[in-house]
Chain A
Amino acid sequence: MKASFSRAKIVFISVLSAIVFILIWKLVSLRIGTDIILPSPETVLLRLLKILISVKFWFAVGATALRILYGLVISFIVGFFAGFACGKNVYANAILSPIISITRTTPVMSIILLAMIWFKTDFVPVFVSILMIFPIITANVSQGVKNIDKRFIELGQVYHIGRFDFFINITLPSIAPFVFAGLRSSIGLAWKVVIAAEVLSQPIKAIGTNLQFSQMNLETADVIAWTVAAVILGRISERILDFVVRNKRWESP
């Protein structure tokens, strides 16, 4: 009972914090008094509702979400194999680690600008998200492979568990929590990076393109409304992943 009480309390505090934030926003916008600089929360809400019922919005969301999905899937595949190689083999690790540390510290904008030179506008956001995310997945998978319980390796040795069965029954379940932790922390990043790349590369259907368009027209309420929509979509996609992986038996022995 005590636990559920404190949980309710925490939810209450969070809601309160959000309300206070919106109140401050409202007060500041009243003080500034012009929508171009800071529109009021209710103006933004109205714009958001208007955007939500437009066809343009759903095309943009679909296109952006698809780019994120491509980015995640390709990063996942590349990162899985690269991470596996790194975790198993010191030479693979030595070959891949400089590439990974370079991509990790390269400014996102540099990657976007270069990608715009090299690729068609639609692919730029996908490419950028791959470059940002696959190092995370690689690092996590490699970590997972190195963390396979030594006692299970002994078990496999003693009972002559074959390579394939070992992979399916011990390796995969051991690294799964690491893979999903990597994916979980990548999803939010994917939304940010893909939208940033869209702002610059301007594909026809894209959340980023719409953000940029609203900003050029000084429709500040629209900029915020699109942003709120992107934040909500990002949260939804995280929740979907949590839902998919919940109740899995990954606890250690």
Chain B
Amino acid sequence: MSDHTIMLDNITFSYSDRTDNIAESSYVFKNFNIEFPSDKVSVILGPSGCGKTTLLNIIGGLLSPLEGKVSFNNTTQTSDNFSILFQEPRLLPWRTIRKNVEIVLKSKFDKQLRRETAEHYLSLVGLKDSMNLYPSELSGGMRQRVAIARAFAYPADTILMDEPFQALDIKLKQELRALFTKLWVEDKRTAILVTHDINEAVMLGDEIFVFAGERPVKIAGKFVNDEPHMNRNSESKKSNIIQKKLYSLLA
């Protein structure tokens, strides 16, 4: 087993174009350090606007830090190998569900394998019979399931998730969290989940980082949930203890 730890080392980032002499508060991150453990689900919990999406984009290489570096304790894979589950499904409206999954596999697999992989993951998320439909023919929950299938189908060691269940109602949210857990337990990767839902953090996270709502970002607390994913229950004593602590930290 190779190690897929992600380390952010002394990261500084600002959306301001000026690099000299800018106010402390215009930095989203200043000399920021964090380590996400290999093949675990790390959750980033924090108020909206604190810099969670920015951090994911830095890790995913969509934004470059002014200083510092993101390193991957892994010698075999390049550092630009990610799946991302966005806030919205982000499917191409003019392609079928199957094609939407196949297209991200183009750089990885041959035609035959692309097809099999897409079918496999779409079946896992319960969309075997909808593969030839277009996104507009699916419900919101089904579309996000396609996005989950696409993220898992893509052979990356790391999966980044930016509030992927936020737009859904409670029932769908729970259903998709369970689906994520099922897929992830089968096929563990280093996962980073951004959310501002405390219950979600406790249900899915192995490690939970709480970001304080100030600039630059500080880590206000870190919690470990070592209960196996399949046994988790938001009513359990352990969950309750962590949830209480998170509430008091975020209040």
Contacts and interface: CB of A to CB of B under 8 A. Distances in A.
Contacts, number: 56
A253 B91 contact: yes
Interface in B38-73: 60-62
Interface string A233-253: 000000000000000111111
Residue of A151, A157, A158 with highest tally of chain B CB at under 10 A: A158
Contacts of A158: 60, 62, 82-84
A159 B104 contact: yes
Contacts of B62: 154, 157-158
Contact of A155 (B90, B93, B106, B134): B90
Contact of A173 (B91, B92, B136): B92
B29 interface: no
B134 A253 contact: no
Interface stretch (A1-9, A26-34, A161-169, A211-219): A161-169
A249 to B, nearest CB: 4
Contacts of A157: 61-62
B94 interface: yes
A159 B93 contact: no
A170 interface: yes
A107 B109 CA distance: 56
Interface string B211-247: 0000000000000000000000000000000000000
Contacts of B84: 158
B121 interface: no
B107 A253 contact: no
Contact of B86 (A151, A165, A173, A252): A151
**A interface bracket (residues with beta carbon within 8 Å of B):** 20 to 34
B103 A162 contact: no
Interface string A201-216: 0000000000000000
B135 interface: yes
Contact of A253 (B80, B83, B135): B135
A152 interface: yes
Contacts of B83: 158-159
Contacts of A251: 93, 136
Contacts of B93: 249-253
B103 A161 contact: yes
Contact of B92 (A160, A162, A169): A169
B152 interface: no
B107 to A, nearest CB: 4
Given A158-B82, A159-B154, A161-B103, A170 B136 contact: no
A160 B62 CA distance: 12
Contact of A250 (B86, B94, B104): B94
A27 B134 CA distance: 56
B90 A169 contact: no
Contacts of A169: 92, 95, 99, 103
Nearest to A251: B93
A157 B86 CA distance: 13
5 contacts: A151-B88, A158-B84, A165-B103, A169-B92, A253-B90
Given A250-B94, A253-B88, 10 more contacts: A151-B90, A154-B62, A155-B86, A161-B103, A165-B103, A169-B92, A169-B95, A169-B99, A173-B94, A249-B134
8 pairs of A and B residues whose beta carbons are closest in the complex: A159-B104, A173-B94, A160-B107, A249-B94, A158-B84, A253-B93, A165-B106, A169-B103
